[in-house]
A = this chain, B = another copy of it.
Amino acid sequence: MEITLFSPLDMHLHLREGDMLKAITLPSINDFASAVVMPNLRDPVDTLEKVQTYRKQIESLVSEHAFEPLMTVFFRSFSRQELIALKSHIFAVKLYPAGVTTQSEKGISDFSAIEPTLEILQELKIPLLVHGETNGFVLDREKEFLPMVERMAQNFKDLRIVMEHISTRDSLRVLERYENIFATVTVQHLLFTLDDLAGGLLQPHLFCKPIVKRPADRQALLDAVLAGHPKIMFGSDSAPHPLDKKEAPGCAAGCFTAPIALPVLAELFERHEAMSRLQDFISGHAQTIHGLEPLPKPVRLKKEPYKVPQTFGSVVPLLAGHTLSWRVSSRGD
């Protein structure tokens, strides 16, 4: 059995920089037509110059593949002039509260100061992507941040807001309430709960932010995604860290899922008899929501056993060593 996905889009991707960028980008540029590239490098991508430099680094790896990086900038107070200059070079602005995830130290701590920039984003029709977590108790952070998202949605009704990597039922409720709020969902939040991370033995490769939640949260996300919820897009949040930063005390947050995303999703949608809705989750909804016209790129998957490699370079992928029932035809691993 085979399926073809047309122009798969990864609406939330960490490609990192330097050697890591070179080591881990191939699965993404092979399997996807386009990906929204996160700006949280060691030195955050928050100027036009940095966007252009980073885009060139990524494009130098693309070679014969059809793949378009959709660049983002790290939220700060931008002037109207800066955002006008940036607009044609970026897909969106990404807002991190300070300290909530990898390399977010320069994120926002004073939310009263962000409104002038939101005003300009709204005017220029630049989407706002939000890592919606507070610094509260780890399981409550997403829920605690929701009033902030709601306030933005109310005050800037024409601002397109994407709640990234949602992990709770609470976020789904807010998604219903506001026309201008959308969401991305990862593979790991569809597959796992805190029981998988820490209920038996502790599994560092399942550790990410937002942390995986309760079974009822996972089920609610899965139900919404499999039902074809039109405001929910796939965003892997694939976030590689080298093995020695994962299998050690002080394990970094992030699941490396780029190489397994399509096979896992095919398996999941097939198991739940929802295969007909995979195309929209992986591309259609994002095209409609954002008015994207991605590169035409058919990606074929075969129903054949795919043993997930133990490592890609220095990085252990999610489900390393497991055998999935679908593989991407054009990949040799």
* Contact residues of A: prevailing secondary structure: loop
Q: How many whole Å from A121's CB to the nearest CB in chain B?
A: 30
Contact A138 B198 (CB under 8 A): yes
In contact, B201 and A198 (Cβ under 8 angstroms): no
Alpha-carbon gap, A256 to B265, bound state (A)? 40
B138-A201 in contact (CB<8A): no
B137 x A253 contact (CB < 8 A): no
User: In the complex, what's the smallest C-beta–C-beta distance from A188 to chain B, in angstroms?
Assistant: 14
CB of A95 to closest CB in B, whole Å: 20
Q: Which residue among A207, A247, A316 has the maximum number of chain B CB atoms within 10 Å of its CB?
A: A247
The verdict on A252 contacting chain B, using a C-beta distance below 8 Å, is: yes
With contacts A247-B248, A248-B247, A249-B247 taken as known, whether A138 is within 8 angstroms of B194 at the C-beta atoms is yes
0/1 string, A178-205, CB within 8 A of B gives 1:
0000000000000001110111011111
Contacts A137-B195, A193-B137, A195-B138 given; indicate if A253 touches B214 (C-beta within 8 A): no
Complex formed: what's the CA distance from A271 to B267 in Å? 54
Is A153 located at the chain interface by the 8 A CB criterion?
A: no
Distance to closest chain B CB from A328 (angstroms)? 24
> Contacts A193-B137, A195-B137, A214-B137 known; A201 to B247 CB distance under 8 Å?
no
User: Can you name the residue of chain B whose Cβ is closest to the Cβ of A140?
Assistant: B214
Q: Do residues A203 and B138 form an inter-chain contact, with CB atoms below 8 A?
A: no
- Which one, B137, B249, B253, contacts A204 given CB within 8 A? B249
**What are 30 A-B pairs at a CB distance below 8 A?**
A137-B193, A137-B194, A137-B195, A138-B194, A138-B195, A139-B194, A197-B198, A198-B198, A198-B207, A198-B211, A201-B251, A201-B252, A201-B253, A202-B202, A202-B204, A202-B207, A202-B250, A202-B251, A202-B252, A202-B253, A203-B249, A203-B250, A203-B251, A204-B204, A204-B249, A205-B249, A247-B247, A247-B248, A247-B249, A249-B316
**6 new A-B contacts at CB < 8 Å, known A201-B252, A201-B253, A204-B251:** A137-B193, A138-B195, A138-B198, A202-B253, A203-B251, A247-B248
